[in-house]
């Protein structure tokens, strides 16, 4: 069969107006259905004719999945279909959870953020160029990893967690949500379940064909951020090649509660280092009770990269991750001319 | 014309001239005639055209880097509803000889590509085309086609191709050599000893078919206070025109009508005729607007052939839209060059000797001139007292290369400038001062001696003035004196010289003054997207002394008669066509005076032309342009186009004949003297701020200061200086190819993976300026500026990075966080400069 790209194949477009209708459609079509949020990931797959769903369930008309609401515990619930632009400009989130505002404002470009949703951003697929190019790799159901070879082009791939696949999770919002101890609300025909943000993501050891736990019929409906980390000291940084419209070479998100200079509580995560966002529990444990200063940051950075395995072209990710963790905890020595 | 340079006064005393001095139109900003259509969406690009019963076609691309198509079974596809037909390689016209403008027979290049290939030489090469009622049907049909391919040996890395025992890109060899007028392939494999330098991080060198030299190289190195031996590589970079090379074609009364975007309207016609094996007069070509070309659409592309042939075969109009992935493969690219350059410097920084060895990547079809231009530009821009140039142009199974803005010049500047910067640091000389001492000036010579023993030289060069003025405007000295490091941030400043060709000669102008009194200027220049194709006609209008509001420009459609014009490439338009405009302006003034004298008596010299009128000096008889045009029609002959200026090109003569009787029809050829070759020059300045913990850097300031002769249209020139600087900056900061050499396949064919720069990757307020000192060898004094800024854009950034971080960070561009972080960790450049496409 000859291959052609950049022309979307035909499919049935289903546009439910409610979450329950969406649920029913997903139940009815199971594996044949493709769930589309903002379409920023879906359209690439579809236009390249690599993913060939029979039906596409477009959630853009499901208003109940949109919006930002206060929760009874003082936190916020964000509908999965809320756009990144809305999150970035929401006053409550900017005031109490600026870690997330900052993270989403680093996603792609303004036009994409106006269309992209938070549900889509955390659920997006890997951007390994072999996988996205339709190569028959493990993640695509084959039996080879083309990136992890002596000459494989793997500059943007994983330094942790590679297991037959070295693609990274590319989300910018995911590490921020992990740091904020967010809960992801998943609905299916059996009911609703809530999982910790970090448990939403899966690596190749658990399921090499997916980046998250959603199964056919599952719908991510909302993300809840507890009040726990409201107003904490936050740090987000994303390093990318271009200043706009680029996935992370790596990012870091950190929430700290301090007593004076002393770290009382901390959650820290990085992404684009592994097939899942990495919550750095060893770092968290090591720095609690220590001052949030450069020395602690330096030690934390060095601890964070222990066990990293670079590929041919991505060794830079080790000092990058080390320094991002260092900065997240110890701060950045800004230039006096800034 | 004398071969030896004409002595000119040293230009030290020349100062910048305010734009527009002495002119009513030239040097003043205005809105170009096509601008409103572009900004309101009314402009029609190729994809906007439709024809009744139009079919759509899509290409089938080779999945392999080198293969032979053994069998195609399209039976199922052709039976699908809505599928109208396929086009196969055996239906494409083959290579053919042709006769050029000078009447010279050019032999067919049997190595050049055809529109469809039965032996694809790169992944992504079109091998079939399918036409259907819509694109979805065509795509579905393509997936129903069975293609059996036999994989053939391939190589995507030019250095690897030179290793003993490695695969060649083509069965006949791997290196292009010139024999007389012909390019031929031969096998060149270097020895293991040749590759010994690789272990030391130096580019290995071996047999090099291309070479020249001048001066005493050995003495130059012997007398040098400092000798540097540096290896540096530039990346292959796609043109990435925003408008892909989409084409619509139909046939009517035996004529082929083609709609696409190109860099030339008039000059694309013979190219189409050549590809299609048909007479030029049966081609009607429409190209009103073009969304970028950068050298890749000079006379259209082979993609014109596919819809034209399918349209003929299926007897229906055919539109072939090119997708972004198609465009990546067939849209051309700049060849990457791996270089080893040994440079000797005197104590004051003057280059005493320069020995350059290049390995140029030719890609899959034909040789290219980038390696050659790299040597020429190096010799011009840095004026080494002695120089040797050696070059190997290697065929690879990668997408075809073509000229991209400043072909070879961009690479030369990217390769040599970091060496100058390093030398300045080692010699303790200011960066601007070191460049000033090496800068060309006046009628600077360049390249090797010709057969007559003389070296070529430029028309004029005031680069030292641009360097001085630029350094002042950029506050160079103050910036250098500031602290470099604070916290995790390091800042650096960079300066780079830049130049490229800036003009050609010998084209025609064609003006009709209509019976309504409008000045109608016909132009065969392609509307590339820059404004130069309109700006150049200000020269004729200035001489005619007409308000611009009274001028109409006719362009973009060969059914409207057009003159022999240059293509919008090689930065020649402003130079070439202001000359033609000047010539036709003068000719038009003369004809107007003659018409007035014949109508009202007296001699032509008794009349003056101004403000839409031709009037007797000192008052009395006068004619409006409308009246003059009406009188010209009555007079006939040379006045209304029934006779034609014998000097103009045959193409122009046909156009004049077609316009005969429509008004005062005037044509003229540029026959002005032109001593030297026209080049334009820039001094480029940049500042960067690098975070040493992340390797992330920002360009915080940029200035391009131009020596381009007379400024015709300041806003457009500013757009060119900064736009093309940005193209150069792209090479420094991230745009590239990524190819897996094991499979010979591209993995970064999307914007987000091959990373052309965004507007946020350059400073918000980039700055430009120009000397506005006229070139003495052209009547309006103007030269082109499309290409000259590109190399300076790139190298000013890399020089600023080296200023910030030192000399042990990078040996290739682009430079990104990965380059910087790994090298800072190791204390030496960590990215292998030879490995292609990482």
pLDDT tens-digit map of B241-269: 999 999 999 999 999 999 999 999 999 99
Assess A5–B contact: CB distance below 8 Å, yes or no: yes
Over residues A164-172, mean pLDDT: 98
- pLDDT of A29 higher than 80: yes
Q: Above pLDDT 70, what percent of chain A? A: 100
With contacts defined as CB-CB under 8 Å, which chain B residues touch A159? none
Give the pLDDT of residue B1.
30
- pLDDT of A334 higher than 60: yes
Give the pLDDT of residue B6.
41
Residue B100's pLDDT band (boundaries 50, 70, 90)? low
Give the pLDDT of residue B105.
75
Residue of A2, A315, A337 lying closest to B147 (CB–CB): A2
**Nearest CA-CA distance, residue A240 and chain B, Å:** 8
CA distance A322 to A302: 6
- pLDDT of B413 higher than 70: yes
- pLDDT of B838 higher than 90: yes
- pLDDT of B98 higher than 80: no
- pLDDT of B813 higher than 90: yes
Give the pLDDT of residue B415.
98
Interval B76-86: pLDDT, tens: 999 999 999 99
Mean pLDDT, rounded, of chain B: 95
Interval A216-233: pLDDT, tens: 999 999 999 999 999 999
- Statement: the pTM of the whole predicted model exceeds 0.90: yes
Residue B5's pLDDT band (boundaries 50, 70, 90)? very low
- pLDDT of A206 higher than 50: yes
Q: Above pLDDT 70, what percent of chain B? A: 98
With contacts defined as CB-CB under 8 Å, which chain B residues touch A3? 61, 63, 142-143
- pLDDT of B627 higher than 50: yes
Over residues A124-144, mean pLDDT: 98
Over residues B371-388, mean pLDDT: 98
Give the pLDDT of residue B300.
76
What is the 3-class SS of chain A, one letter each residue? CCCCCCCCCCCEEECCCCHHHHHHHHHHHHHHEEEECCCCCHHHHHHCCCCCCCEEEEHHHCHHHCCEEECCCCCEEEECCCEHHHHHHCHHHHHHCHHHHHHHHCCCCHHHHHHCEHHHHHHCCCCCHHHHCCCCCHHHCCCCCCCCCCCCCCCCCCCCCCCCCCCCCCCCHHHHHHHCCCEEEEEECCEEEEEEHHHHECCCCCCCCCCECCCCCCEEEEEEECHHHCCCEEEEEEECCCCCCCCCCEEEEEEEEEECCEEEEEEEEEECCCCCCEECHHHHHHHCCCECCHHHHHHHHHHHCCCCCCCCCCCCHHHHHHHHHHHHHHCCCCCCCC
Residue B101's pLDDT band (boundaries 50, 70, 90)? low
Interval A93-104: pLDDT, tens: 999 999 999 999
> B323–A6: do the CB atoms touch at under 8 Å?
yes
Residue B3's pLDDT band (boundaries 50, 70, 90)? very low
- pLDDT of B589 higher than 90: yes
Assess A155–B contact: CB distance below 8 Å, yes or no: yes
Residue of B747, B761, B838 lying closest to A133 (CB–CB): B747
Give the pLDDT of residue B180.
85
Over residues A203-211, mean pLDDT: 97
Interval B158-188: pLDDT, tens: 999 999 999 999 999 999 999 888 899 999 9
The interface pTM score, or ipTM, of the predicted complex is 0.98
With contacts defined as CB-CB under 8 Å, which chain A residues touch B824? 319
Give the pLDDT of residue B96.
80
**Nearest CA-CA distance, residue A159 and chain B, Å:** 14
Using CA coordinates, name the residue in chain B closest to A251.
B694
Interval B630-678: pLDDT, tens: 999 999 999 999 999 999 999 999 999 999 999 999 999 999 999 999 9
> B139–A320: do the CB atoms touch at under 8 Å?
no
Over residues B790-795, mean pLDDT: 98
């Amino acid at each position: 069969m000859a291959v052609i790209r950049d022309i979307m194949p035909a499919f049935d477009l289903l546009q439910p107006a409610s979450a329950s209708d969406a649920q029913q459609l997903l139940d009815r079509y199971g594996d044949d259905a493709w769930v589309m949020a903002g379409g920023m990931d879906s359209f690439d797959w579809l236009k390249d004719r690599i993913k060939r769903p029979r039906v596409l369930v477009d959630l853009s008309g499901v208003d109940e999945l949109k919006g930002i609401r206060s929760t009874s515990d003082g936190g916020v619930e964000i509908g999965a279909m809320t756009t990144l632009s809305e999150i970035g400009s929401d006053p409550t989130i900017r005031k109490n959870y600026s870690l997330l505002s900052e993270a989403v404002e680093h996603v792609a470009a303004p036009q994409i953020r106006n269309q992209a949703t938070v549900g889509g951003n955390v659920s997006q697929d890997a951007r390994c160029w072999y996988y996205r190019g339709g190569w028959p790799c493990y993640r695509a159901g084959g039996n080879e990893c083309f990136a992890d070879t002596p000459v494989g082009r793997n500059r943007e791939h994983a330094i942790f967690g590679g297991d037959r696949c070295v693609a990274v999770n590319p989300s910018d919002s995911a590490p921020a949500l992990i740091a904020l101890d967010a809960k992801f609300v998943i609905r299916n025909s059996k009911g609703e379940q809530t999982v910790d943000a970090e448990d939403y993501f899966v690596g190749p050891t658990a399921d090499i064909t997916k980046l998250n736990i959603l199964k056919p019929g599952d719908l991510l409906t909302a993300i809840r951020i507890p009040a726990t980390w409201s107003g904490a000291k936050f740090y987000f940084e994303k390093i990318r090649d271009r200043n706009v419209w680029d996935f992370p070479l790596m990012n870091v998100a950190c929430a700290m509660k301090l007593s004076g200079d002393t770290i009382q509580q901390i959650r820290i995560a990085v992404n684009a280092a592994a097939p899942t966002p990495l919550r750095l529990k060893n770092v968290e444990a090591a720095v609690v009770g220590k001052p949030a200063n450069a020395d602690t940051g330096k030690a934390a950075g060095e601890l964070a990269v222990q066990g990293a395995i670079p590929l041919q072209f991505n060794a830079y990710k080790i000092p990058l991750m080390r320094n991002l963790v260092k900065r997240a905890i110890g701060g950045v020595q800004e230039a006096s001319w800034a | 014309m004398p071969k030896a340079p004409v002595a000119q006064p040293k230009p030290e005393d020349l100062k910048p001239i305010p734009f527009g001095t002495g002119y009513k139109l030239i040097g003043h900003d205005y809105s170009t005639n096509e601008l409103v259509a572009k900004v309101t969406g009314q402009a029609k690009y190729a994809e906007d055209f439709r024809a009744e019963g139009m079919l759509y076609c899509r290409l089938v691309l080779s999945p392999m880097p080198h293969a032979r198509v053994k069998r195609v079974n399209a039976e199922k596809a052709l039976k699908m509803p809505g599928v109208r037909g396929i086009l196969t390689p055996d239906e494409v016209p083959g290579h053919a000889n042709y006769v050029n403008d000078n009447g010279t027979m050019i032999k067919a290049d049997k190595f050049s590509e055809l529109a469809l290939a039965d032996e694809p030489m790169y992944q992504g090469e079109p091998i079939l085309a399918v036409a259907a009622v819509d694109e979805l049907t065509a795509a579905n049909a393509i997936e129903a086609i069975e293609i059996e391919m036999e994989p053939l040996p391939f190589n995507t890395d030019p250095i690897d191709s030179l290793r003993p025992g490695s695969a060649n890109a083509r069965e006949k060899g791997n290196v292009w050599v010139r024999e007389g007028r012909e390019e031929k392939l031969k096998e060149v494999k270097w020895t293991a000893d040749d590759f010994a330098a690789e272990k030391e991080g130096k580019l290995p060198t071996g047999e090099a078919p291309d070479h020249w030299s001048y001066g005493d190289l050995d003495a130059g190195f012997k007398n040098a206070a400092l000798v540097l031996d540096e290896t540096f590589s530039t990346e292959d970079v796609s043109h990435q025109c925003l408008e892909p090379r989409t084409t619509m074609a139909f046939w009517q009364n035996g004529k082929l009508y083609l709609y696409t975007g190109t860099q030339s309207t008039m000059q694309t016609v013979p190219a189409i005729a050549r590809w299609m094996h048909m007479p030029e007069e049966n081609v009607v070509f429409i190209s009103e607007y073009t969304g970028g070309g950068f050298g890749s659409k000079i006379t259209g592309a082979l993609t014109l052939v596919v819809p034209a042939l399918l349209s003929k075969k299926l007897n229906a109009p055919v539109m072939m839209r090119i997708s972004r992935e198609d465009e990546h493969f067939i849209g051309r690219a700049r060849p990457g060059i791996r270089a080893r350059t040994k440079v000797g410097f005197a104590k004051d920084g003057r280059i005493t000797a320069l020995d350059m060895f290049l390995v140029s990547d030719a890609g899959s079809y034909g040789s290219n001139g980038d390696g050659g231009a790299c040597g020429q530009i190096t010799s011009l821009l840095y004026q080494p007292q002695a120089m040797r140039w050696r070059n190997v142009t290697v065929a690879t199974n990668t997408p075809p290369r073509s000229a991209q803005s400043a072909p070879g010049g961009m690479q030369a500047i990217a390769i040599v400038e970091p060496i100058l910067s390093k030398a300045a640091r080692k010699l303790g000389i200011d960066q601007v001062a070191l460049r000033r001492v090496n800068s060309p000036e006046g009628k600077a010579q360049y390249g090797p001696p010709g057969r007559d023993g003389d070296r070529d030289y430029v028309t004029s060069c005031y680069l030292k003035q641009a360097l001085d003025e630029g350094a002042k405007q950029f506050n160079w000295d103050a910036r250098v004196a500031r602290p470099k490091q604070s916290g995790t941030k390091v800042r650096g400043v960079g300066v780079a010289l830049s130049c490229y060709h800036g003009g050609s000669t010998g084209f025609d102008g064609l003006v009709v003054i209509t019976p309504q009194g409008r000045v109608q200027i016909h132009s065969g220049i392609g509307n590339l997207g820059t404004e130069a194709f309109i700006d150049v006609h200000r020269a004729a209008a200035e001489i005619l002394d007409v308000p611009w509001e009274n001028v109409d420009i006719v362009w973009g459609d060969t059914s409207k008669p057009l003159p022999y014009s240059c293509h919008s490439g090689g930065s020649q338009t402003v130079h070439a066509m202001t000359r033609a405009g000047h010539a036709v302006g003068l000719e038009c003034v003369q004809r107007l005076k003659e018409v007035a004298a014949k109508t009202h008596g007296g001699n032509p010299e008794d009349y003056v032309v101004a403000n839409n009128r031709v009037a007797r000096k000192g008052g009395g008889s006068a004619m409006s342009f409308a009246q003059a045009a009406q009188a010209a029609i009555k007079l006939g002959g040379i006045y209304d186009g029934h006779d034609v200026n014998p000097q103009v090109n045959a193409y122009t003569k046909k156009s004049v004949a077609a316009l005969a009787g429509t008004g005062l029809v005037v044509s003229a050829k540029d026959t002005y003297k032109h001593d030297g070759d026209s080049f334009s020059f820039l001094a480029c300045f940049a500042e960067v701020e690098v975070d040493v913990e992340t390797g992330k850097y920002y360009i915080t300031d940029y200035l391009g200061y131009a020596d381009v002769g007379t400024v015709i249209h300041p806003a457009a020139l500013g757009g060119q200086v900064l736009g093309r600087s940005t193209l150069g900056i792209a090479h420094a900061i991230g745009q590239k190819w990524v190819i897996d050499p094991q499979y010979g396949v591209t993995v970064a064919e999307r914007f987000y993976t091959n990373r052309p720069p965004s507007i946020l990757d350059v400073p918000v307020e980039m700055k430009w300026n120009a000397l506005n000192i006229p070139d003495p060898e052209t009547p309006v004094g103007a030269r082109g500026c499309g290409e000259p800024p590109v190399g300076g854009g790139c190298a000013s950034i890399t020089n600023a990075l080296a200023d910030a971080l030192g000399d042990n960070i990078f040996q290739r561009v682009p430079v990104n966080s990965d380059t910087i972080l790994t090298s800072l960790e190791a204390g030496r450049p960590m990215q292998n400069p030879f490995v292609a496409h990482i």
